[in-house]
Amino acid sequence: MQRSPIKFCRECGQAVIYRLPDDGDTKPRAICTSCHTVHYENPLNVVGTVPVWGETGDQVLLCLRNIEPRKGKWTLPAGFMELAETTAEGALRETIEEAGAQIEMGELFTLMSVPRVGQVHLYYRARLLSPVFDPGFETVEARLFTEDQIPWDEIAFRTVRETLERYFEDRRQGRFGCHTFDIA
Amino acid sequence: MQRSPIKFCRECGQAVIYRLPDDGDTKPRAICTSCHTVHYENPLNVVGTVPVWGETGDQVLLCLRNIEPRKGKWTLPAGFMELAETTAEGALRETIEEAGAQIEMGELFTLMSVPRVGQVHLYYRARLLSPVFDPGFETVEARLFTEDQIPWDEIAFRTVRETLERYFEDRRQGRFGCHTFDIA
């Protein structure tokens, strides 16, 4: 886990300690030494799309990252899901923010747990409505790639590489599934 | 959204204010007035199972809730996903904790966004290995129900009702899908 431990209570500002709560819970939690609020820490969802172009969906949109982590590497448009949105709404929002792409959302394509970093990544298939992009500040460049053109050694995240591999595999089979698997 | 706003910084204990960060972010965040740490708030995942018994999977395991919310109502075993586990591991853990049931995990069955409360609910199909249960303190009773026996008006959550309805519908069709939809 790469998140830093909680040091102070968000309710009253006093120090917390990690201990087992008194309610039967079996995991140590950050508990306020003053107001006794229990602070839970939970996984984050990352939501994104596989935006494709061409009658047969042979080209995929990738974004060259302008921010850390993995600045200078290529990724599918994706980011942290926000409160008050659905997984699909978050995936659409990230695609607009990072690539300035116009898309029609499709089905859920991959759901991957990444327990090492406490994350779940969800990618939806999407159909590009235009090959013209207008990337935001997080992206240097948004560009279409065929399978042969994809810079496989320059992909930012394993979740993205695995999702791309399954996209082209399913495309060859002529049938798209919903793939759930874990990234160790 | 039903979570209370952040009042104090978890890093240094000083007061936060909600404002737009300086990094181009478009949403107000809780930002520390002293150390300037930005505190993000994100959706939580609830993970659970549809544990079934009988050669044709005609009986489903439900748990009578012994805790709020919806104490005294029936639910599928489920709870908040924890750090350092996968969605399927969390679903299995909750099934053991709440029902004391032995199961073989199956495929992802429903994925439901519930934006009103900032949650995503995921249910996996599961095959019970025994009809004997040993519920934990969160559960008054764990019991098998056929479709006709299910107390439809006493189901704790809409996500559970919708998942049960789709289970029996798919069972009639003889084919189980992966259902993604939203609960308004």
* Per-window interface: B 42-101 vs A, CB < 8 A: 42-45, 80-89
Cβ separation of B11 and A10 shorter than 8 Å? no
Give dist(CA B118, CA A85) in Å, integer: 7
Count CB neighbours of B147 within 10 A.
16
Question: Nearest C-alpha of chain A: how many angstroms from B59?
Answer: 26
CB B137 within 8 A of CB B97: no
Which residues from B are below 8 Å from A122, CB to CB?
A: 111
Helix (H) or strand (E) holding A53: strand A44-53
Strand blocks (E) in B54-150: 59-65, 74-75, 78-80, 103-114, 119-128, 139-146
A182 backbone dihedrals φ, ψ, rounded to 5°: -115, 150
pLDDT range class, residue B2, cuts 50, 70, 90: low
Angle ∠(A182,B75,A23) on CA atoms, nearest 5: 80
The rounded percent of chain B whose pLDDT value lies above 90 is 95
Residue B1 is predicted with a pLDDT of 39
- pLDDT tens across the length of chain A (184 residues): 357 899 999 999 999 999 999 988 889 999 999 999 999 999 999 999 999 999 999 999 999 999 999 999 999 999 999 999 999 999 999 999 999 999 999 999 999 999 999 999 999 999 999 999 999 999 999 999 999 999 999 999 999 999 999 999 999 999 999 999 999 9
Which residues from A are below 8 Å from B39, CB to CB?
A: 10
Query: Which domains does chain B carry?
Result: 1-41 (2.20.70.10), 44-182 (3.90.79.10)
Q: Is the pLDDT of residue B110 over 50?
A: yes
Q: What is residue A149's DSSP assignment?
A: G
Residue B94 is predicted with a pLDDT of 97
Cis peptide before B21 (omega within 30 of 0): no
The rounded percent of chain B whose pLDDT value lies above 70 is 99
Residue B157 is predicted with a pLDDT of 98
- Choose the closest CB to B84 out of A8, A115, A120: A115
Which residues from A are below 8 Å from B43, CB to CB?
A: 45, 81-83
Cβ separation of A178 and B182 shorter than 8 Å? no
Angle ∠(B91,A167,A178) on CA atoms, nearest 5: 30
Among candidate residues B158, B155, B89, B91, the one with its CA nearest the CA of residue B123: B91
Q: For chain B, how big is the Rg over CA atoms in Å?
A: 19
Structure tokens given for A61: 């949109």
- Choose the closest CB to B120 out of A27, A41, A87: A87
What mean pLDDT is reported for chain B? 96
Question: Nearest C-alpha of chain A: how many angstroms from B30?
Answer: 10
**B24 in reach of chain A (CB within 8 A):** yes
Give B139's strand partners: B65
**A24 in reach of chain B (CB within 8 A):** yes
User: ipTM, 2 decimals?
Assistant: 0.95
**B38 in reach of chain A (CB within 8 A):** no
Q: How do residues B127-151 score in pLDDT, each as one tens digit?
A: 999 999 999 999 999 999 999 999 9
Say what the pTM is.
0.96
